[in-house]
Each structure stands twice: as C-alpha cells, then as structure tokens.
Copies of this chain bind each other. A is one copy, B any other.
Amino acid sequence: MSQNQSKENQLLMEVTGHRLKTKGISVSSSLFTGLAKEATDCLNPIRPPKKQLSSEFIVSSSLKSRRQIEICILSRRTEKTLHIKHFVPGDSQGHFLAGTLFLIIALWWSTKSILKHVCKQQKRSSSLITKEFFFRAELLEGIVIIGMASVGIIGLYIALPKIHQFSDKDYKLALILHWHHLAMYVFFAILGGTKILCFIISSLPVSLVKLALSNAFFVEAFIFYNHTHGRSLVDIFGHQLLSFAIFLAGLVAFIEFLTKSNVVLELLRSSLIMLHGMWFYQISFVLYPKNRNYAWDLSDHNNVMFLTICFCFYYALTCAIIGINYALVTCLVKWRLSKLCTSETQLLKNHEQQEESEDEI
C-alpha cells in the first residue's frame, strides 16, 4: 500500500510539475515533495482511479505578495481545491540592489587603482591629485560602507514583521535566511570600521584593511555556499557560481595582503567584484522573472550549461569595462595636466605682461 502511494505521489508530482513549469513557477525538489504529499493527503480520501490522474488536477498559481506564491490545485473529480502557499526565498529587488552596490564599489575601486598607478608614473600629477585626496577617499569609503551595511541591517529589521505571515516552517527558513544576510552585513561593517580606524590611528598596520576585505568576501562566499539547501538545480548552480566569484575576489584580496601592492592585482580584484555584482543581476533575472510566461526551467541541465557561458561572458564584459575605464582615466589625467600646463604658461605670460605694463607705467 505504501508503495502504491509513493508511485501515485510520483505521478502527481510529474503532472503538477509539468503544469507549474508552464505557469513559470520555479519548482524545487523539496517544494515538490511537500506539494505532492499535501495534495494526496487532502484531495484523495478515497484512492482515485489511476487513468484519470493526469487529467484530474487543474493547477493554477497567483502571486500573493512579493515573496509568496499561492498554488491552487483543483481536483476535478472531488471538486475540492487545495491552496498551498509557496514561500519564495529572496526577491528581485534585493538581488538588484546588492548587485548595483557591488558594481558601483568595483567601478570606484578600479578608478582609484588606475588613478594611483597613473599618478605614480607621471610625477607632475601630484599637483592634481594629492595624497590628501586618497586619504580622504579611504575615510569616505569607510563611512559609506558602514552606512550601506547599516541600511541593510535596518532593512532586514523592517522586513521582519512581513515574514510572520508565513507558515511555521517557512517562517523558520525565512528567519535563517535573514540571519545569513545579517552575518554578511556585519562583516562589511567591520571592513568599514577597519578602514576608518586604520586611517585615523597611524600606528595600525595598513594591511589590516586588505585582511578585513578578504575576510568579508570569504565569509560571504562561505554563507552563500551553505545557503541553498533544497532548492532547484539551476538555483543552486547560480548561487554556487556567485559563491565562486566572491571566493576568488577574497582570494585575490588575500594575495594582495601577503604581497606588496600591485596595480594589476587590484584591477583583477575589482573585475571579480564587478562580476559578482553582475551575477546578482543574472540570478535576479533567472529566479524572479518579470514575465512569468518566459520563466527559465529551473530543473533543466541545459540551463546550467548556459549559465556557465553567461558567467564567462560577464567576466569578459568586466575586463572590457575596466579596460575602457583605464583608457578614460589616463586620457583625463593627461588632458587635465596639459590644460594645467597651458594655464600655467598663461599665468606666466600674464605675469610678464603685467610686469611689462608696470614697466610702461
């Protein structure tokens, strides 16, 4: 009897799975098992004849809130309806925001590295960009990073009441995911604090900032690696690639910490952080599609292979962006320097003219 039950469960899973996919709902294995179990428990007090199984259920879905989908399973035979609330972990906006922040940070860090490199090569540039400027930039960075982490933590606190509406099991999972995000924010706050402290107190070793940076990335990679239990194939692979990109960024930061400063390593780190930001966009696009008719099939292995390519092309894109950034910054510095020269010559000329006019007088 138990064997028949499980076979029926499997059939139901196939039927509902097929219907859910055509409706554009991302279906994970754990959701499925629960769904099929509930469906058989509630709708079939007496066992239905097997032949009707595939045509017996009508599955529909509606988006209740940003993080909840209601799946209705209507039994044609018994005319009963089962409402299952499916908790969607994470949302499009959150991933989008995180991605944008990392993109901006990566762009700024690459610009800073290039500026430093160009300034070192062209000695006269010290009149343009002083050490004071980089000092203040570090301080500002620290404050901005702490600010961003605080906004994240406050955001989690505000979102807390919203997850109370979920079922007990979903609430527990949502709370754990909240804690996961909190841990990440805390380590970025530590990074910000270290930045500020290291540039206020001169006796602290400067390499501490690099260590705090690699720490923040390693912790993020560690958490994302342990983040995706029971989700669907493509979802897990996407988050693994995210974790991979962050781990690489942390590794490069750690190598920077061990070796002396090297502009190419800094740009490599920036490009990996940029890749990390872009991958947040990609995940947001894959998991929370706007038009659910064109949703990705999250259990198709072809999509895993396609994500592999996306990852590589995004990386190629970051290389291109940083290359263009390098060209732009170099041109800008040279143009400003030449302008400065002209104005200085102008100044000299004016001075001579004044002297001449004074002589005339």
Contacts and interface: CB of A to CB of B under 8 A. Distances in A.
Interface of A: 2-3, 7, 117-118, 121, 172-173, 176, 179-180, 182-183, 186-187, 190, 203, 205, 207-208, 211, 215, 219, 222-223, 226-227, 229-230, 255, 257-259, 262-264, 268, 301-302, 304-306, 308-309, 311-313, 315-316, 319, 330
A222 to B, nearest CB: 7
B316 A190 contact: yes
A217 B218 CA distance: 21
Nearest to A10: B2
Contacts of A304: 226, 229
A219 B275 CA distance: 14
Contact of A223 (B179, B259, B312, B330): B312
B223 A263 contact: no
A211 B264 contact: yes
A264 B212 CA distance: 10
B301 A230 contact: yes
B301 A229 contact: yes
22 contacts: A3-B7, A172-B302, A176-B302, A176-B305, A176-B306, A176-B309, A179-B309, A180-B305, A183-B312, A186-B313, A186-B316, A187-B312, A203-B330, A219-B315, A222-B308, A222-B311, A223-B309, A226-B305, A226-B308, A227-B305, A229-B305, A230-B301
Contacts of A302: 172-173, 176
B309 A180 contact: yes
The 4 closest A-B pairs by CB, nearest first: A183-B312, A226-B308, A179-B309, A176-B305
Contacts of A259: 258
Given A186-B316, A223-B308, 4 more contacts: A118-B203, A121-B203, A205-B263, A208-B264
